[in-house]
């Protein structure tokens, strides 16, 4: 059965077509600059990467371009071969705790939640509507970044704020990256050969979050009402004293929107290093003795280890720590720094095993108290799996 995984951004469309249940990737690609001019896309098929320039004025035109590639490369003879299309949606609020089939009511709720994810949910709705036009006979599903975290207990998802803020305005911890955390947790359980596990999953990329997972269920996660909570990230500040915001507004006359822009797009590694939001640039700066980059890395690692330690205590132990996403999978130095900070818990790094990028691997010694793994994430496959189960 052919299943298409879709991740629509405001001006982009990422896709991957699978033959399920074999999990074979038939074609993948990314369409960029949709609706803003000079658009182009890249596709990967049969191990070959191809870049094409084509004006894409909206997401429907992007899907039509996708159809031409599917047919032109003989991936499908008919669009009816594609039985399901799974869409990534960032914010599902507390309405959704699993993947859902798209209905008018589901779409309405996704639109309602746009205020909690203004950059992501509207784009997802646009992508879903466009897909329905171009693929009218395929089952459309939505996979929510927040759904996996809906198993958190109330004491972990509520804030110590007036309770009416939760009931009236939906203010609570939702988390994000749930599809990734779910995927790597399932894979870790396969490696360990059991499901009665206590895992700490570290999705560390330009956006980053950590989750505590007991017996396959999320019990806590570092992101909050929005993705700007928890860890220090590429351009996000993560946890701060909330009173900083009214204080700086009074001092500078900045508007709420201006402050929000600063804490989301001008903070994090970028702000402290004064150089870049990219971990690779920070590492280059450290190698050259740049004091700001050294400081940024220390702060970055400290926040990550703070959350790992917190979840270790909360779960009363841990069977495995998982590193995934761009930095987690590829930064040898960051993994080393984090694991060395955890030596007080008896975690021991295998330096030779850790010297790898983007490959699944155990990176701790046999005597380490907690196993640490690199597990490359695959959110698109997780979307395809869920959609396949519903399409069957």
Provide the pLDDT confidence category of residue 10 given band limits of 50, 70 and 90.
low
Q: Please check whether residue 103 lies inside any domain of the structure.
A: yes
145 classed as catalytic: yes
Average pLDDT over residues 73-101: 91
Q: What is the spatial distance between Cα 348 and Cα 369, in angstroms, rounded to a whole number?
A: 8
- Report which of 318, 98, 31, 120 is spatially closest to residue 201, judged by C-alpha positions: 318
What was the pLDDT predicted at 7? Answer: 85
Unique residue bearing structure tokens 């971990």: 279
Backbone angles phi, psi at 220, to 5 degrees: -165, 155
Q: Give SS3 for 243.
A: coil
Q: Are residue 140 and residue 271 in the same domain, yes or no?
A: no
Q: Measured on CA atoms in the order 321, 226, 333, 241, is the torsion positive or negative?
A: negative
Annotated catalytic residue within 38, 77, 80, 145:
145
Q: Strand 13-19's sheet: what is its strand order?
A: 48-53, 40-45, 24-32, 13-19, 2-8, 82-89, 139-144, 100-101
What are 164-185's pLDDT values in tens digits? 999 999 999 999 899 999 999 9
Q: 139 with 265, same domain?
A: no
Q: Are residues 110 and 211 in the same domain?
A: no
Please check the confidence at residue 37 and state whether its pLDDT lies above 90. Answer: no
Per-residue pLDDT, averaged over 138-156, amounts to 95
Asked if pLDDT for residue 77 goes beyond 90, the answer is no
Mark which of 144, 176, 204 sits at the end of a domain: 144
Calculate helix-pair angle for 279-287, 332-341, nearest 10 degrees: 80
Kindly report the pTM of this predicted structure.
Answer: 0.89
**Measured distance CA(266)–CA(188) in Å, rounded:** 35
Domain residues for the domain of 128 are: 2-144
Does some domain include residue 152? Answer: no
The arithmetic mean of pLDDT across residues 213-217, rounded, is 97
Cis peptide, bond prior to residue 21, ω within 30 of zero: yes
Q: Give the end of a domain, one of 82, 116, 144.
A: 144
pLDDT in tens, 346-384: 999 999 999 999 999 999 999 999 999 999 999 899 999
Is residue 24 exposed (0-12), middle (13-18) or buried (19+ Cβ within 10 Å)?
Answer: exposed
Question: DSSP assignment of 116-147, as one string?
Answer: GSTTTHHHHHHHHHHHHHH-TTSEEEEEETTG
User: In the chain, how many domains are there?
Assistant: 2
Domain with 350 in it: what CATH number?
A: 3.30.420.40
Q: Residue 264, exposed/middle/buried by CB under 10 A (0-12, 13-18, 19+)?
A: middle
Are residues 198 and 63 both part of a single domain?
Answer: no
């Amino acid at each position: 059965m052919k299943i298409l995984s879709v991740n629509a951004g405001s001006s982009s469309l990422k896709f991957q077509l699978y033959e399920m249940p074999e999990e074979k990737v038939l074609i993948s690609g990314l369409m960029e600059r949709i609706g803003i001019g000079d658009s182009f896309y890249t596709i990967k098929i049969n191990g070959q990467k191809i870049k094409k320039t084509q004006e894409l004025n909206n997401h429907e035109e992007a899907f039509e371009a996708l159809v031409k590639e599917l047919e032109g490369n003989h991936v499908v003879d008919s669009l009816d071969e594609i039985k399901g299309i799974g869409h990534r949606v960032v914010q599902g609020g507390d309405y959704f705790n699993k993947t859902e089939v798209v209905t008018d009511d589901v779409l309405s709720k996704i639109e309602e939640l746009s205020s909690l994810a203004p950059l992501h949910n509207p784009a997802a709705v646009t992508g879903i509507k466009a897909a329905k036009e171009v693929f009218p006979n395929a089952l459309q599903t939505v996979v929510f970044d927040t759904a996996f975290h809906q198993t958190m207990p109330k004491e972990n998802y509520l804030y110590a704020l007036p309770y009416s803020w939760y009931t009236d305005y939906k203010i609570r911890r939702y988390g994000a990256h749930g599809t990734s955390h779910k995927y790597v947790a399932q894979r870790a359980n396969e490696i360990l050969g059991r499901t009665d596990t206590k895992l700490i999953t570290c999705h560390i990329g330009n956006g980053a979050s950590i989750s505590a997972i007991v017996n396959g269920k999320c019990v806590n996660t570092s992101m909050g009402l929005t993705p700007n909570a928890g860890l220090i990230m590429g351009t996000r500040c993560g946890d701060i004293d909330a009173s900083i915001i009214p204080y700086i507004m009074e001092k500078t006359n900045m508007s709420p929107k201006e402050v929000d822009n600063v804490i989301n797009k001008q903070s994090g590694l970028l702000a402290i290093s004064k150089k870049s939001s990219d971990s690779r640039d920070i590492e280059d700066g450290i190698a050259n003795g740049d004091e700001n980059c050294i400081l940024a890395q220390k702060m970055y690692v400290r926040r990550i280890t703070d959350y790992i330690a917190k979840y270790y205590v909360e779960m009363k132990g841990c069977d495995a720590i998982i590193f995934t996403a761009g930095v987690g999978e590829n930064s040898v130095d960051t993994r080393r720094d984090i694991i060395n900070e955890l030596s007080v818990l008896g975690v021991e790094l295998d330096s030779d095993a850790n010297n790898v990028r983007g490959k699944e691997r155990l990176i701790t010694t046999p005597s380490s108290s907690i196993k640490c793994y690199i597990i490359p994430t695959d959110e698109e496959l997780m979307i395809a799996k869920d959609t396949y189960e519903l399409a069957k």
